[in-house]
Copies of this chain bind each other. A is one copy, B any other.
Amino acid sequence: MASFFSLLEQRVEDCASLLCVGLDPHLADLPAPTAEAATEFCLNLIRQTAPYAAAFKPNAAFFEQFGAAGWEALKTSIQAVQEQSHRLGSFIPVILDAKRGDIASTAEAYAQSAFQVLGAHAITLSPYLGRDSIEPFIQKPEQGVFLLCKTSNPGAGDLQDLAVTEEPTSGLWQPLYLQVARLAQSWNVRDNLGLVVGATQPEALARVRALVPEMWFLAPGIGAQGGDLEKALRAGLRSDGKGMLLPISRGISRSQNAAQAAADFRDAIRAYARF
């Protein structure tokens, strides 16, 4: 079975894009505060942007806020991406942005929920509970994980920038986020574990890239969060000009023409990436 990242690489090649379209049905962007409106919002966005999307990334929170009906909207949206995959003749992965993190049978139940029940192909996870909390999600090569490494929010540094060491007397310290990248690289034995590294911090992106030259990054923060696309791409792309997905949500969904906005983002990325 092909690995998650080999499937993603194929899609990136098919559409010559590193754009990941975010599916975030914010209440403020819906005509009514209902799961039906959220579904319609997502289906429209998927229909318009699929040709330019290397992946889609639904954010679980914006569906969960509608309760059971929101869960149904999430499933329907993931199915709609699969329909676009068939229509375009090119498999488009769905990354469930859920930032889960739990242990043992609980982690297995979350994996069951994300991959079997919802039909997602990858999920975002938090690293705080360590290796055994990640394992149930990366047992099958075709199912992937993006592990939180360096996030784009103001409080990211509270933990992620702390200097850590495995041996306090060694005098060798590094920020926690680099240790997470190092661990993730060692856990990535099936080509299905990547990292979330915020696009708002090009210096951190460059440090992680130097440490793990081959891993895939999911790099949020361009658009609404104000990250600089050129700086982020120069810092985070692999030497082959790929290896990085740029999720854009409101920057596309709030434009007058979502298809055009997605095409524009794809082209803006293409100025720095290589296909």
Contacts and interface: CB of A to CB of B under 8 A. Distances in A.
B130 A65 contact: no
Interface in A109-159: 109-110, 112-113, 117-118, 126-133, 148, 151-159
Interface stretch (A10-18, A43-51, A56-64): A56-64
Interface residues of A, number: 62
A163 interface: yes
Contacts of A180: 159
Contacts of A110: 61, 64-65
A272 interface: no
A176 interface: yes
Copy total for this chain: 2
B164 A117 contact: no
Binding site secondary structure of chain A: helix
A100 B99 contact: yes
Q: Which 8 pairs across A and B sit closest by C-beta, in order of nearness?
A: A130-B155, A130-B158, A61-B109, A103-B153, A132-B155, A64-B113, A68-B71, A131-B155
A34 interface: no
Given A130-B157, A153-B103, A158-B183, A75 B67 contact: yes
A168 to B, nearest CB: 4
